[in-house]
Structure 1
Amino acid sequence: MRKLLLALAAASVIAMPVKAQDITVAITAIVEHPALDAARDGVKAALADAGYKDGENIKFLYESAQGNPGTAAQIARQFVGEEPTVIVPISTPSAQAVVAATRDIPVVFTAVTDPVGAQLVKDLKKPGGNVTGLSDMSPVADHIALIKEITPNVKTIGFVYNTAEANSTSTLAAMKVEAEKAGITIVESVATKSSEVQGATRGLIGRVDAIYIPTDNTIVSALEAAVGVAEEAKIPLYSGDTDSVARGALASVSFNYFDVGRQTGEIVARILKGEAPGDIEVKVASGTDLVVNKKAAEKMGVTFSDDLVKRAKKVIE
């Protein structure tokens, strides 16, 4: 009976609206790079639109794990000890750390490719408990189509990733399915830390016709190292996120991560207004933008068609 009463009490705390002066939203990311930073800023923007103004009626905390899963776990425990109103982990490793650290504080994850595979929730439609959020499952079918459009003779694509990131292994599985349909072979190359990205990329030269960088936090944090190898070898390098195109990748069709953050912030606002996280369906990010980089194309020996450039939401000159 005592356990039942405690469970009911915890559920009522999660579902109750929160007084404005008591609101604290703790945000953490596995690493700092443009896509994850944009998601963080989008969360804050959506909450501002919902009436929660930073420094007025809401307080934000932010910590980056600097690419270290051990640090992510420490940050999660630290945040739980500070008892914020909601915790927003950005990326799969940070979400796993936070979900493991609390069953009471509402958690709204974002930029997580496969929430079920990462064992954050058991069901997307009915997550239950204290966890919900937003998935950014990459539109890999669109990526394969884009790669074939720009480099029509492609037969092999190099996939650089960190095997420890559940989001990347899920993307790899989906990529292989779509590549097989197109008659393309995926060649894997692993980097377990940012300092290994250059070597992992270089190991693909002479073996593949193009290189693909997924939304892998380890690889994206050292994207410029991979881009440098691709430019030197005159081989096209594509990315799973559009923010990486501005950093030297050739092209991508993907989410605007500021919008991903905004969609996440809207979920946080629903919780602040009284909804229980476990009753909120896990959403899949909506919206895809085509972004191309003309300067990268020149360096990698690629020519964009006029039609492709016209279709692009943004063109990096």
Structure 2
Amino acid sequence: MKRMYALIAALAAFLIFAFFATNKDNDTHSSKAKIPTVGILQLVTHPALDQIHRGFVDGLKEYGYTPGKNIKIDFQNAQGDQSNLKTMSTKFANENVDLMAGIATPAAQALANAANKKTPVILAGITDPKGGGLVSSDKHPGGNITGTSGESPLKEQLDLLKQILPNAKTVGIMYTSSDHGGQYNAKKFAKLCKQRGINYKLYTISSTNDMQQVAEQAVSQVDAIYAPQDNGIASAMKTLVNVANKAKIPVIPSADTMVKDGGLASYAINQYDLGKVAGEMAGQVLHGRKTADFPVAYVTKGKYVINQKEAQILGIQLPQSIVEQAEKEGEVFK
């Protein structure tokens, strides 16, 4: 009888061990099969940022992450509302997403605060990451944040402006007072104008609602307007162009999407490419690469983008060399 009890006890112990071992294996398998979640926060809807968003998702695909298959993407758009930025970034933090991505400087800054130096944050086309307080340096970000920077080719853009409009005496430079990237680009462009002896006037808007009034003031005082990479200016680009066209004042913008919205011409970096490189970087971080020593990446190759319809409206003959380069390697809007 004792031997029978011992046998039953041994069998029970074996079954208990097998049960827990099986559960442990299932847990391990479940952990391995876990689908990562990426939270993408975009400041506002306009074509340039939308291109970055599309590029980011495609960059993840290039690195093997396909939405709906082996990665979950939670996309949030703050529509220009600062309180939405805080709420949405906090949501990502509370849900413990595996990685966050910020499209536009205010979105990246909100994510950086919510991540609290823990969750990886990828910058998607952010102008001046160090000046925006996001990284310690471009080569060695030093924390949980890295990504791509959208530094505009300002010298080439000024060269283009002067090539198209050699008689322009005063250039108006517009930016949004609350947009760090826009302010950074506008002031660097103004410095270049000063170095080359070109007169300039700075104009600021606090929101897109100011564009009509500020644009009307600008077109009465300048011969051309430069529109930097600035989310407020990009969002109000059509308003700016409508005012400028009535006064026959050309607008030279910084982004290809802004040329499509009525700018005359630009030498621009493709916003989609900025997003795609950022998405590929996100894929590497999800695979285990550390952000602290993952250098900020720059897309430096630009292209000529022209708007032939706008040239006709303004009565401007674009230089043939620029037209040919845009047709061959860039983009032409008709």
TM-score, normalisation: structure 2: 0.87
Equivalent residue in structure 2 for 1:155, among 166, 169, 193:
169
**Aligned residue for 2:185?**
171
**Larger deviation, residues 131-140 vs 299-308:** 299-308
Question: 1:20 Cα shift?
Answer: 5.7
Quote the Cα distance in structure 2 between the aligned partners of 1:240 and 1:70: 28
Quote the Cα distance in structure 2 between the aligned partners of 1:298 and 1:130: 49
Quote the Cα distance in structure 2 between the aligned partners of 1:152 and 1:211: 14
- Say yes or no: does 1:46 pair with 2:46: no
**Aligned residue for 2:19?**
none
CA contact (8 A) 1:21 1:58 kept: no
**Aligned residue for 1:5?**
none
Superimposed CA distance per residue, residues 200-244 of structure 1 (whole angstroms, 9 cap, x where no aligned partner): 111112211101111111111111000001110001101111111
Paired residues for 1:1-317 under 5 Å: 19=32, 21-102=34-115, 103-312=117-326, 313-317=330-334
Question: 1:300 Cα shift?
Answer: 2.2
CA contact (8 A) 2:63 2:284 kept: no
Quote the Cα distance in structure 2 between the aligned partners of 1:280 and 1:19: 25
Structure 1, unmatched stretches of 5+, are 1-17
Superimposed CA distance per residue, residues 28-58 of structure 1 (whole angstroms, 9 cap, x where no aligned partner): 1111111111111111111112111110000
**Larger deviation, residues 298-307 vs 262-271:** 298-307
Quote the Cα distance in structure 2 between the aligned partners of 1:110 and 1:58: 18
TM-score, normalisation: structure 1: 0.92
Matched length: 300
Q: Residues 271, 187 of structure 1: CA spacing in aligned structure 2 closer, same or farther, 3 A cutoff?
A: same
Does the residue aligned with 1:157 lie in a helix, a strand or coil? strand
Quote the Cα distance in structure 1 between the aligned partners of 2:332 and 2:315: 17
Quote the Cα distance in structure 2 between the aligned partners of 1:189 and 1:277: 37
CA contact (8 A) 1:42 1:262 kept: yes
Quote the Cα distance in structure 2 between the aligned partners of 1:194 and 1:165: 12
**Aligned residue for 1:15?**
none
Question: 1:286 Cα shift?
Answer: 2.8
Quote the Cα distance in structure 2 between the aligned partners of 1:98 and 1:292: 35
Q: Residues 79, 265 of structure 1: CA spacing in aligned structure 2 closer, same or farther, 3 A cutoff?
A: same
CA contact (8 A) 2:173 2:190 kept: no
Quote the Cα distance in structure 1 between the aligned partners of 2:85 and 2:104: 11
Quote the Cα distance in structure 2 between the aligned partners of 1:155 and 1:117: 32
Quote the Cα distance in structure 1 between the aligned partners of 2:331 and 2:199: 29
Alpha-carbon RMSD across the aligned residues, in angstroms, is 1.3
Counterpart residue identity of residue 87, structure 2: Q
**Aligned residue for 2:25?**
none
Does the residue aligned with 1:21 lie in a helix, a strand or coil? coil
Does the residue aligned with 1:245 lie in a helix, a strand or coil? helix
CA contact (8 A) 1:235 1:301 kept: no
Question: 1:22 Cα shift?
Answer: 2.6
Q: Residues 275, 183 of structure 1: CA spacing in aligned structure 2 closer, same or farther, 3 A cutoff?
A: same
Quote the Cα distance in structure 1 between the aligned partners of 2:198 and 2:62: 45
Counterpart residue identity of residue 244, structure 1: M
Does the residue aligned with 2:206 lie in a helix, a strand or coil? coil
Question: 1:196 Cα shift?
Answer: 1.1
Quote the Cα distance in structure 1 between the aligned partners of 2:239 and 2:32: 47
CA contact (8 A) 2:42 2:103 kept: yes
Name the larger-Rg structure.
2
Superimposed CA distance per residue, residues 94-147 of structure 1 (whole angstroms, 9 cap, x where no aligned partner): 111111111111000122111111000121111111111111111110110000
Structure 2, unmatched stretches of 5+, are 1-30
Percent identity reads: 34
